[in-house]
Structure 1
Amino acid sequence: MKHIINKESISSNLILGALILGLFTISYTLHSQDSQLPVKPNIVVIFADDLGYGDLSSYGHPTINTPNLDRMAYEGQKWTNFYVGAAVCTPSRAALMTGRLPVRNGLTSSKVGVFFPDSHNGIPANEITIAEQLKSAGYATGMVGKWHLGHKEEYLPTNHGFDDYYGIPYSNDMDHTGKITSMEDYFGRYTDTYEERTPEEFNVPIIRGTEVVERPAQQNTLTKRYTEEAVKWIKDHKEGPFFMYLAHSLPHVPLFVSDEFRGTSKRGLYGDVVEEIDYGVGQIMNLLEAEGLDKNTIVIFTSDNGPWLPTGISGGSAGLLREGKGTTWEGGMREPGIFWSPGTIKPKLVTGIGTTMDLFNTFSNLAGVPMPTDREMDGVDLSPVLFGNEESPRNEVFYYRGPELYAVRVGAYKVHFITEAGYKPNTRVEHDPPLLFNIEEDPSEQYDLAKKQPEEITKIMKVVKQHNSKMVKGPDLLIDRG
């Protein structure tokens, strides 16, 4: 029999075969990517307070010795473009906990920077915290340290997804027993005489659950006790999965350190404090390894905002970045970001962009919990970077100060619509056209490119327009005091 070859039939079969092969390849690739992800890993977030971008030896400090954090960075991922959601404590912590810009839920203000002991409000009940999200997936949830999202019982961590809480409800310099008449007086107390401060000058409470168990907090041993509490809690919940949020109260001023670390750093008291925090990180790493938990536990280290520069030698350093806490310059909102999980997280230096808000999305994915669909979320899932070879899906950062958008980064370029010093009055400047910096080439933000590259401003303005079209700001919850 003579076979007749139909060219159209061959072509159709080739196309069909290619499609089948393509679908098989896509399916295999997706399966491979999924199989790389840890299943409901334990999660430990360690959050410092007012630590600068340049305050770790792995981020360039010449005299502060942080061997445990350096080890985390070497064995895991060191992110060099990692941001927080705001440049001061309360809104930054709100961004971390909710995965949302704090301007959306009212935890930011143009009049009051943070919650105080006489504040009436706290984190809204309808906000979904990381703890609540993970708890819905069967996680045990514990918090140790500084909360700063409301000190009244209904706002404390145990009413927002955490099973257990031990720590102080706001900053360690609050409830001051002396009289402060001006910001100059406030900063003067620490700039020149920071080593003379005593815990009794600050009547801050330590709370366990919802009950005050110590007042004033004996702050010289606070870092040590926070670490001990976190270690004990992890041991008690080692069967997992668990989420531990360890939020240190330091190196926020006033600076306190235990006797074992006093005078041990070449950087003075500030260095002593940072090195004690680093030692505690090592204690947690050692525990995870001893219990065989390290390969299914992700440890993240970062800080809430940049260094408090007006406190002088009592404050930290943003390294080569400009300015510090309270500002939307890079030094105010770019922080160390270290991710560690041996054998799971791929070791590398990551120069892509990430934020603390992205942790909500990332943890939700790892825990198998759907993202909320009834509200605008501001994070992205960093799993493809942490566990694969992908680039960061984030390309934008929005820098809010209070309820106002001061600056925006898109890719390598950043525009400043408004600039203002952290704690100096009458320094606000509105820029038209906005300032423009290439912060990959110029991370210190010294060379304005607005006249040379106006097309980059145009590109960013399109992003801003899209962002503003979805922005609904919450009512100011910080202003209600007294």
Structure 2
Amino acid sequence: MIRACVVVGYILFLSACSLKKTDSKPNFIIIFTDDQGYQDLGCFGSPDIRTPNIDRMASEGMKFTSFYAQTVCGPSRAALMTGSYPMRNARNDNGEAPHPKLSLSEVTIAEVLKPVGYATGMIGKWDLAGHNPEKFNPDLLPAHQGFDDSFLTPTSNDSRVHLIRNKELVALNTDMSTLTRRYTDEAIDFIDKHQEQPFFLYLAHTMPHTKLAVSDEFKGKSAGGFYGDVIEEIDFNVGRLLDKVKELGLDENTYVIFTSDNGPWWIKGDHAGHAAPLRGAKTSAWEGGFRVPFIIRAPGNVPAGTTSDQVTATIDLLPTIAEIAGAKLPSDRVIDGLDISDIMHGNTKTLDRPYFYYAHQELRAVRKGKWKLHLPHHPSSGLINYTKWPVHIAPEDRVLFTKHVLYDLENDIGETTDVSAQNPEIVEELNQLLDWAKKDIGDYEKRGENARPLGNEPYFTPNDLIPSK
């Protein structure tokens, strides 16, 4: 009898442990690659790059095929962290540089989640404190933006990478071929450390931004060449992360997201990555610059093997994660993103929303439903798009529009045929949306009515953020 009671008690203990794992607030992991094109995954049509672990994420979760980031690294990270278009963000600089120094008055995903008990970690490329590896603002690093733990490089790997843990420099001129594994090792350590509490982990890989680098284990192994080697190493390490989540019994209580910050670089006649069937690449306002692969996996919450073509974006992640976590959004500012948790959870919902394409500070286009309208360029012709970084846009895509140009993305995903003459009412409707964005968000040298200010701003304190449920 005593023995039976002990056995029953042990079973109840195990059940209680299991409930602790699954009934607590969910964990969130965002894996954010750098300059990975729309086609650079097996599940998004790559003919020669093998990504079995990310493909498994898609087969066990949901794939989004009309998901948008920004067209350049820094603005993309600002949009992800704040749920707002980068032109709307407060900046700790004069606003002219394409890469923002994000003001501390902005509220990040980490700052939204901390008041409801989340441990927060940031690993990888930050790029919101300045774009020079030696001349960034240390007061704008993740440690000041709501992250408990961080292991990062301040900016891109254009020439070199220095690594910082929280606020301390730990490595100069790091061997870039070690970064993908090293970041993943740090991510696994973070998960181990915080497995008993809800956590938010933002893992922003340096690769496949050039300079490309890969470890010896993956060098020369991909049919997709050196670039394929880099992607396949990322995929392998995504698998390591998923295995760790499963090993710790967190699989059914963790949302794992995989996406990219923008489209691939076009460099001197060749693509570092691939955006087919989309037109264009990074820095442009074509689909290939903005539309990126997106996969979310959460067993038991996100239906397996599903696809959504709803117009969604990185700006939607902050309000969506807040809703799922029971956290409160700041009420003193405009958040452009939408809560898309219903879509992620498989509930039927059609978004009737516009999405605006900003190339740096210049408003270039809007999409609503299947329609995308490009604006004429400013009179001085491509002030930002083509004179600043012309090497990153293929000659055939350096088109300077002199009038509004309309594309039907449902039937012409490659943006080849202007149908504005046949659809004047659509042009008028979308142009009204563009006029609204110019006034509310801003355009070129004019900040919008609801844009946050430039210049030094006070530190944000999250005391006013309380759980919404």
Tell me which interval the TM-score lies in, with the shorter structure as reference length.
0.7 to 0.9
Contact 1:299–1:341 (CA<8 Å) still a contact in 2? Answer: yes
State whether structure 2 residue 427 is matched by structure 1 residue 457: yes
Q: CA 1:220–1:226 in 2, change beyond 3 Å: closer, same or farther? A: same
Spell out, residue by residue over 1:132-182, the C-alpha distance to the aligned partner (whole angstroms, 9 max, x if none).
001111100001100000032210001100001102110011xx4xxxxxx
Spell out, residue by residue over 1:176-213, the C-alpha distance to the aligned partner (whole angstroms, 9 max, x if none).
4xxxxxxxxxxxxxxxxxxxxxxxxx2x3100011110
Give, in whole Å, the separation in 1 of the partners of 2:357 and 2:24.
34
State whether structure 2 residue 298 is matched by structure 1 residue 341: yes
Give, in whole Å, the separation in 1 of the partners of 2:288 and 2:175.
31
Contact 2:352–2:368 (CA<8 Å) still a contact in 1? Answer: no
Q: Which residue of 2 aligns with 1:3?
A: none
Q: CA 1:442–1:428 in 2, change beyond 3 Å: closer, same or farther? A: closer
What is the CA distance between 1:40 and its match in structure 2? Answer: 2.4
Q: Give the TM-score, by structure 2 length.
A: 0.82
Q: Give the TM-score, by structure 1 length.
A: 0.80
Q: CA 1:39–1:382 in 2, change beyond 3 Å: closer, same or farther? A: farther
Q: Which residue of 2 aligns with 1:103?
A: 87
- Identity over the aligned pairs, expressed in percent? 43
Q: Which residue of 2 aligns with 1:220?
A: 177
State whether structure 2 residue 233 is matched by structure 1 residue 233: no
Contact 1:110–1:402 (CA<8 Å) still a contact in 2? Answer: no
Q: CA 1:311–1:217 in 2, change beyond 3 Å: closer, same or farther? A: farther
> Which of these residues, 334, 337, 341, is aligned with residue 383 of structure 1?
341
Spell out, residue by residue over 1:359-384, the C-alpha distance to the aligned partner (whole angstroms, 9 max, x if none).
00001111112222111110001111
What is the CA distance between 1:39 and its match in structure 2? Answer: 5.9
Q: Secondary structure at the match of 2:390?
A: coil
Q: Which residue of 1 aligns with 2:53?
A: 68
Stretches of structure 1 lacking an aligned partner (at least 5 in a row): 1-36, 116-121, 177-201
Q: CA 1:112–1:126 in 2, change beyond 3 Å: closer, same or farther? A: closer
Stretches of structure 2 lacking an aligned partner (at least 5 in a row): 1-21, 130-135, 442-447, 457-469
Give, in whole Å, the separation in 2 of the partners of 1:394 and 1:134.
28
For these two proteins, the number of residue pairs brought into alignment is: 406
Q: Which residue of 1 aligns with 2:402?
A: 431
Q: Which residue of 2 aligns with 1:156?
A: 141
Give, in whole Å, the separation in 2 of the partners of 1:92 and 1:351.
21
Spell out, residue by residue over 1:229-270, the C-alpha distance to the aligned partner (whole angstroms, 9 max, x if none).
101110111112000000000100001111111111011111
What is the CA distance between 1:341 and its match in structure 2? Answer: 0.8
> Which of these residues, 253, 256, 261, is aligned with residue 296 of structure 1?
253
Q: CA 1:418–1:169 in 2, change beyond 3 Å: closer, same or farther? A: farther
What is the CA distance between 1:313 and its match in structure 2? Answer: 4.8
Q: Which residue of 2 aligns with 1:322?
A: 279
Instruction: Indicate the larger mover: 265-274 or 103-112.
Output: 103-112
> How much is the aligned-residue C-alpha RMSD, in angstroms?
2.2
Give, in whole Å, the separation in 2 of the partners of 1:435 and 1:405.
14
Spell out, residue by residue over 1:72-115, the C-alpha distance to the aligned partner (whole angstroms, 9 max, x if none).
1111000000001x200111100000001010125599853326
For 1:198-209, what aligned pairs fall within 5 Å after superposition?
202=160, 204-209=161-166
Q: Secondary structure at the match of 2:426?
A: helix
For 1:52-451, what aligned pairs fall within 5 Å after superposition?
52-84=37-69, 86-106=70-90, 112-114=97-99, 122-150=101-129, 151-173=136-158, 176=159, 202=160, 204-310=161-267, 312-313=269-270, 315-347=272-304, 348-393=306-351, 395-418=353-376, 423-424=389-390, 427=398, 429-432=400-403, 434-451=404-421
What is the CA distance between 1:431 and its match in structure 2? Answer: 3.1
Give, in whole Å, the separation in 1 of the partners of 2:203 and 2:372.
32
Contact 1:38–1:344 (CA<8 Å) still a contact in 2? Answer: no
Give, in whole Å, the separation in 1 of the partners of 2:269 and 2:399.
22
Contact 1:255–1:314 (CA<8 Å) still a contact in 2? Answer: no
Q: Secondary structure at the match of 2:116?
A: coil
Instruction: Indicate the larger mover: 406-415 or 98-107.
Output: 98-107
